[in-house]
Amino acid sequence: MRILKSHPLLRLVNSYLIDAPTPANISYLWNFGSLLAICLIIQIVTGVTLAMHYTPSVAEAFNSVEHIMRDVNNGWLIRYLHANTASAFFFLVYLHIGRGLYYGSYKSPRTLTWIIGTVILIIMMATAFLGYVLPYGQMSLWGATVITNLMSAIPWIGQDIVEFIWGGFSVNNATLNRFFALHFLLPFVLAALVLMHLIAYHDVVGSSNPLGISANYDRLPFAPYFLFKDLVTIFLFFIVLSIFVFFMPNALGDSENYVVANPMQTPPAIVPEWYLLPFYAILRSIPNKLLGVIAMFAAILALMAMPLTDLSKLRGVQFRPLSKIAFFIFVANFLVLMQIGAKHVETPFIEVGQISTVLYFAHFFIIVPVVSIIENSLVELATKK
Amino acid sequence: MLGRSILRASNRAVARQSLGKSTRASSTAAGAEAASSPFYLTLTAALATAAAAGSTAWYYHLYGQEAFAMTPAEEGLHATQYPWVHERFNKTFDHAALRRGFQVYREVCASCHSLSRVPWRSMVGTMHTVDEMKAFAEEHEYDTEPNNEGEIEKRPGKLSDYIPAPYPNEEAARAANGGALPPDLSLITKGRHGGCNYIFSLLTGYPDEPPAGAAVAEGMNFNPYFPGTGIAMARVLFDGVVEYEDGTPATTSQMAKDVVEFLNWSAEPEMDERKKMGVKAVALLTGLFAVSVWVKRYKWAPLKTRKIVYSPPIGPRR
């Protein structure tokens, strides 16, 4: 037997990347997974390289980042790659999740994959937030202050938890140090979760496909067909990433983070990076602090409800026109929330944000189950003899 | 739409039961009811559309205007967009302008603003020769390392030194400037909303007199582009305040443009190299992309052109 099939570790490579029987009809929307793996690899490689030159202390963090930008050979390239790939990572993960929602990838038997995926999203957000604090510019400090203070909403022990996280009575040197340690650690946790994500779906039925039916009639080996298909989007992604990194590296960043952190001066607006804005908007739409924090976390965890609330007998929405409409309304609503998250808390943005928040949760817990029941009934009526 | 499709589906089911054969007839049955009074249906639709458009317009009138947490004065006037050549994807800094801009910084800005992240060496080869830069560095005195007796002496500057700050510490800077701290300029174009446009607008935006009704605090100057409009820095650029060595007329806007470009260089000195590398990267990656598309096409061609034939099992006919 070939060593590729008998070796305990190479066997995994073979069954995930070489012989993996993959549905012949999957579209380019099934390429996000490999792109996300590439993102994680870029982030770990550039991140470890940056860590070789970075100093996690409140006095030196900003200077060490500028040292990387100015004095380290190609340091600017490494840092801009790290910062822009973070954005690309989220852009692609949202598309990946959108693909999953559209084609019903969360439905049994891929429920475990979907649950692990949601955990990956949460850890990704935590990692991104921790990383944003490290340059210790104005937005780093104040973002960290705002987000860690969310924990103070927990009744009775909230303030103690916040001070425990800070290691002091405000965001300080200890906070920056532990954030650095955690930011270094979490990507490897992510890598492990990614492996679990892969195992979870390769060990059941492998990739879903656009038709939502069993693909057992027509499968192809992963190599060479999907290896070369993935490579197409990988190079396309590299081109887009290069345009950002080399020609507009700060387009997605906030200029406030090029100002040294100053605890005595609050910036006019404290805004997270674009990829966290929808959840920030949900947080701010709820007038009660504790409920707002709960709503924000629930907004992410709501994804886990999809296997339960989608009662449709069909996988995916491609043959379900009502669900298709609901899906695109959900996408538009997500983009609206992203806009609202960057606005000042004022009329009309408060009202729009609240409506969008209600619509966001309604999609998961009302619209999806109701629409799927309606569509099931319509299908039954149409097919009953 | 939802209601109609349910209606249509149930009609169809009913029709199927009653007629037993034709399922197509049901859709015309639903249409026939509506067709009995097309005028009222058209009127209702028109009124509903008008009401929807009207209420949307009314809502927009009431709430649609963008709200601002701060007044325009507190926000500062939006900087004009200028066509900076160096901001284009395929353009470098104008190094003659950088050289002039450094002269403006040295003769005007440097008396209050530090440029602490820029060493003398970094300007060698970008805007000055080694000898010129050494001469600039030697104009300044730096502390030596402690000697054998532990005393710190003074030595002339070297290329590896950083441009010295005008004040020894923040308190001294504030004391000399009526309580205001002149910010370090190393990252100023990256660290301000609007970047180059903002700095240029600020430098050239001082009116001769503050507009009527504008409140200007004691010791402050009016500048509409500065958030809050009251800025401690007075107008510093006047025509002819520096004399350019290359003979360029030193108008206010020329100096502002040159110094902004210089400050942009000091914020991202890697820009020229970065864009050049970017062109290389895009050339390389588009090549690889093209190859990958060809290879994918080559590998998939047999599959894309395959013919799937259904051969029914041979058996007795019904």
Residues A243 and A286 grouped into a single domain: no
Q: Is residue B97 within 8 Å of residue B258, measured between CB atoms?
A: yes
Q: Is residue A222 within 8 Å of residue A17, measured between CB atoms?
A: yes
Q: Which of A105, A207, A323, A372 is catalytic?
A: A207
Measure the CA–CA gap between B146 and A158, rounded to whole angstroms: 51
**Active-site residue, A160 included:** no
Residues A70 and A190 grouped into a single domain: yes
Q: Is residue B115 within 8 Å of residue B185, measured between CB atoms?
A: yes
Residues of B in contact with A245 (CB under 8 A): 278
Average pLDDT for residues B292-304, to the nearest whole number? 95
- pLDDT, position B63: 75
Residues A327 and A183 grouped into a single domain: no
pLDDT tens digits along A171-207: 999 999 999 999 999 999 999 999 999 999 898 888 9
pLDDT tens digits along B99-108: 999 999 999 9
**Percent of chain B having pLDDT more than 90?**
70
Which of A126-135, B55-64, B153-162 bottoms out in mean pLDDT, i.e. has the lowest? B55-64
- pLDDT, position A206: 87
Longest dimension (CA), chain B: 114
Please tell me the total count of domains within chain A: 2
- Mean pLDDT rounded to a whole number for chain B: 87
**Active-site residue, A255 included:** no
**Active-site residue, A218 included:** no
Q: Is residue A175 within 8 Å of residue A186, measured between CB atoms?
A: no
Residues A208 and A299 grouped into a single domain: no
Instruction: From A265, A299, A331, give the residue that closes a domain.
Output: A265
Nearest one of B261, B241, B252, B249 to B199, comparing CA atoms: B261
CB contact under 8 A, B299 and A258: no
Q: Is residue A57 within 8 Å of residue A256, measured between CB atoms?
A: no
CA distances, A272 to each of A99, A163, A338, B190 (Å): 25, 22, 11, 18
- Residue length of chain A: 385
Residues A334 and A307 grouped into a single domain: yes
Measure the CA–CA gap between A335 and A305, rounded to whole angstroms: 21
Indicate the helix (H) or strand (E) that contains A21.
Answer: strand A21-23
Q: Is residue B249 within 8 Å of residue B101, measured between CB atoms?
A: no
Query: Domain of A40: which CATH number?
Result: 1.20.810.10
- pLDDT, position B317: 66
Indicate the helix (H) or strand (E) that contains A48.
Answer: helix A32-51
- pLDDT, position B20: 41
- Which pTM was predicted? 0.87
Average pLDDT for residues B118-131, to the nearest whole number? 95
Measure the CA–CA gap between B263 and B191, rounded to whole angstroms: 11
Residues A225 and A301 grouped into a single domain: no
- pLDDT, position B157: 95
Name the residue among A249, A258, A268 with its Cβ closest to that of B191. Answer: A258
pLDDT tens digits along B234-273: 999 999 999 999 999 999 999 999 999 999 999 999 999 9
User: Does A342 reside within a domain?
Assistant: yes
User: Does A158 reside within a domain?
Assistant: yes
B46 CB-near residues (< 8 Å, 6+ apart):
none
Closest residue of A to B62, CA-based?
Answer: A348
User: Does A357 reside within a domain?
Assistant: yes
Measure the CA–CA gap between B310 and A262, rounded to whole angstroms: 73
Bridge partners, B124 (sequence order): B128
User: Does A78 reside within a domain?
Assistant: yes
How much is the ipTM here? 0.92
pLDDT tens digits along B126-179: 999 999 999 999 999 999 999 999 999 999 999 999 999 999 999 999 999 989
B196 is in an annotated binding site: no
User: Does A5 reside within a domain?
Assistant: no
**Active-site residue, A163 included:** no
CA distances, B282 to each of A67, A144, B290 (Å): 27, 36, 12
Instruction: From A220, A237, A265, give the residue that closes a domain.
Output: A265
3-state helix, strand, coil in chain A (%, to 5): 70, 0, 25
- pLDDT, position A348: 83
Going by pLDDT thresholds of 50, 70 and 90, the confidence category of residue B277 is very high
**Which residues in B215-264 belong to E strands, given as ranges?**
221-222, 230-231
Residues A38 and A116 grouped into a single domain: yes
Instruction: Indicate the burial class of B17 (C-beta count within 10 angstroms; 0-12, 13-18, 19 or more).
Output: exposed
CA distances, A352 to each of A358, B17, B207 (Å): 10, 48, 40
Strand, helix or coil for residue B167: coil
- DSSP class per residue in A244-292: IIII-TTTTS-GGGGSB--TT---S-----GGGHHHHHHHHHSSSHHHH
Residues of A in contact with B293 (CB under 8 A): 232
What range defines the domain where residue A339 resides?
Answer: 271-384
User: Does A7 reside within a domain?
Assistant: no
- Residue written as tokens 């900087």? B79
Query: Domain of A319: which CATH number?
Result: 1.10.287.980
Name the residue among A255, A374, A381 with its Cβ closest to that of B193. Answer: A255
B233 is in an annotated binding site: yes
Residues A63 and A206 grouped into a single domain: yes
User: Does A4 reside within a domain?
Assistant: no
Measure the CA–CA gap between A129 and A141, rounded to whole angstroms: 11
Tell which wins on pLDDT, B24 or B216. Answer: B216
CB contact under 8 A, B300 and A229: yes
User: Does A2 reside within a domain?
Assistant: no
Nearest one of A8, A47, A7, A16 to A198, comparing CA atoms: A16
pLDDT tens digits along A53-112: 999 999 999 999 999 999 999 999 999 999 999 999 999 999 999 999 999 999 989 999
Residues A253 and A297 grouped into a single domain: no
Euclidean distance between the first and the last CA atom of chain A, given in angstroms as a whole number: 53
- Mean pLDDT rounded to a whole number for chain A: 94
**Percent of chain A having pLDDT more than 70?**
99
**Percent of chain B having pLDDT more than 70?**
85
CA distances, B266 to each of A199, B6, B43, B117, B263 (Å): 49, 67, 67, 8, 5
- pLDDT, position B21: 43
B2 pLDDT above the threshold of 70: no
Residues A233 and A374 grouped into a single domain: no
Residues of A in contact with B292 (CB under 8 A): 228, 231-232, 234-235
Chain A nearest-CA distance from B283, in A, is: 9
Residues A241 and A380 grouped into a single domain: no
Going by pLDDT thresholds of 50, 70 and 90, the confidence category of residue B68 is low
Measure the CA–CA gap between A378 and A307, rounded to whole angstroms: 21
Average pLDDT for residues A251-263, to the nearest whole number? 93
Q: Is residue A256 within 8 Å of residue A137, measured between CB atoms?
A: yes
Name the residue among B10, B275, B281 with its Cβ closest to that of A381. Answer: B10
**Active-site residue, A273 included:** yes
Bridge partners, A219 (sequence order): A23
Indicate the helix (H) or strand (E) that contains B300.
Answer: helix B271-304
Measure the CA–CA gap between A33 and A17, rounded to whole angstroms: 12
Peptide bond into A21 cis (omega under 30): no
**Partner B contacted by A270 (CB < 8 A):** no
Average pLDDT for residues A29-40, to the nearest whole number? 97
Q: Is residue A269 within 8 Å of residue A139, measured between CB atoms?
A: no
B61 is in an annotated binding site: no
User: What single-letter DSSP state applies at residue B162?
Assistant: B
Interface of A with B in 217-236 (CB under 8 A): 220, 224-225, 228-229, 231-232, 234-236
Instruction: From A214, A248, A265, give the residue that closes a domain.
Output: A265
Chain B nearest-CA distance from A269, in A, is: 10
Residues A250 and A154 grouped into a single domain: yes
Q: Which domains does chain B have, with CATH numbers?
A: 92-118+162-207+217-271 (1.10.760.10)
